[in-house]
Structure 1
Amino acid sequence: MAIPETINHQDRLLSVNINEQEPVQHPTDGYFIQPLFLDPENGTWVLHAKFPPGTLLPRHFHTGTVHFFTTKGTWNYVEYPEDKQTAGSYLYEPGGSIHQFSVPKDATESAEGFMVVTGANVNFDDDDNLIDITDAGAIERAIMGVCQMMQRDAPRYIKPGASAGFSFG
């Protein structure tokens, strides 16, 4: 077997270290995210997230799949209270699933982990009214808006395209 004729040369590896930059705090819900890879064109987003005790996110419907690896703390979906996710848990969610993320109020630490999501989260309020749709593009716009509002630098993340690279630098 020969080396492929078409080779995508990289001047450097595309790598992001969560310990080298500050996460972005959601202005109303209080959780922290660090984008690692945002691809609005193909609908893929990879985040490292920290959810403090008492976090309750809106119920949401997934249009695509989710892979979530928990690295710290405990969390569960309201619909599955017995299925606690703890450090070391890997969760796969098929497209079409619907649930509500929760970190117990009495938790002693934040729940943390890495998620790889394709598609979007369609978010609903308690009365089943549409709140919004969260996808890679919405996350990118929200992060830039929060960073601008806080007068801080936006985090560096991998942004693919015809010539894949970083969001800056």
Structure 2
Amino acid sequence: MTLPTAINKQHRLLCVHTDDIEPVDVSAALPGLKVWPLFLDSEQGYWILRVQFQPGTRLPMHFHTGTVHFYQLSGVWNYVEYPDDVLKANSYLYEPGGSIHTFMVPDDATEPADGFMVVQGSNVNFTEEGEFVNVMDAGWIEEVIIECCKAQGRPVPRYIKPKAKAGFSDVD
């Protein structure tokens, strides 16, 4: 068997070193969060982030349209609905599509919860009363990051973004 011909030639390693860049403070849209965008693909519905959640952070109740893989680097957090299931440092969490829960970092946490997530699809966010708030997906996250960087007078950090756009293969 011969080596296949590369359709997409890669000229460099596509890598984001989160220790070398400052996270984006997205508290204007999501209080208590700092984000390192790693890979945002609004067309395929994938968002990969490193996120730091400050003590006391509570996100809206949300419904997952797709799966989530989450690796906790440091700190602790849990879902309001499962108070005894605490995610701690060096833990992996899988969330199936169709799950509903409310993320929170305890007020008395001694450090931020820092984790890495791979999300397919979107989070449909609701109030505690079940009223629709918004849809959080790769496109929304990208817009928030860009707007927060503009408001903070800082450049948008480098992240991986597929260049392909929907269209026909026979058009240049």
The more displaced of 154-163 and 18-27 is 154-163
CA distance in 1, matches of 2:126, 2:68: 18
Deviations 1:21-68 (A, max 9, x none): 111112340211110000001000000000111110000000000000
Q: 3-state DSSP class of the match of 1:114?
A: strand
Indicate the residue corresponding to 1:117 in structure 2.
Answer: 119
Amino acid aligned to 1:151:
G
Equivalent in the alignment of 1:107: 109
Aligned to 1:71: 73
> 1:153 is matched with which residue: 152, 155, 159?
155
Show structure 1 runs of 4+ deviating over 3 A.
none
Could you state the TM-score of these two structures normalised by the residue count of structure 1?
Answer: 0.93
* Number of equivalenced pairs: 163
RMSD of aligned Cα (Å): 1.2
- Give the letter aligned to residue 163 of structure 2: G
Tell me by how many angstroms 1:7 deviates: 3.7
Choose which of 49, 52, 59 in structure 2 pairs with 1:50.
52
Please, which runs of 5 or more residues in structure 1 have no aligned partner?
Answer: 164-169
1:25 alignment counterpart: 25
Structure 2 regions of 5+ residues with no counterpart? Answer: 166-172
CA distance in 2 between counterparts of 1:161 and 1:63 reads: 24
Q: CA deviation at 1:11?
A: 1.2
Equivalent residue number for residue 85 of structure 2: 83
Post-superposition shift, 1:108? 0.5
Secondary structure at the residue paired with 2:48? strand
Name the aligned partner's letter for residue 45 of structure 1.
W
SS at match of 1:48: strand
Q: CA deviation at 1:82?
A: 0.6
Give the corresponding residue for 1:166: none
Q: Quote the sequence identity (%).
A: 56
Per the TM alignment, residue 80 of structure 1 is displaced from its structure 2 partner at its CA by: 0.6
Give the partner amino acid of 1:61. F
- Which amino acid in 1 is paired with 2:58? L
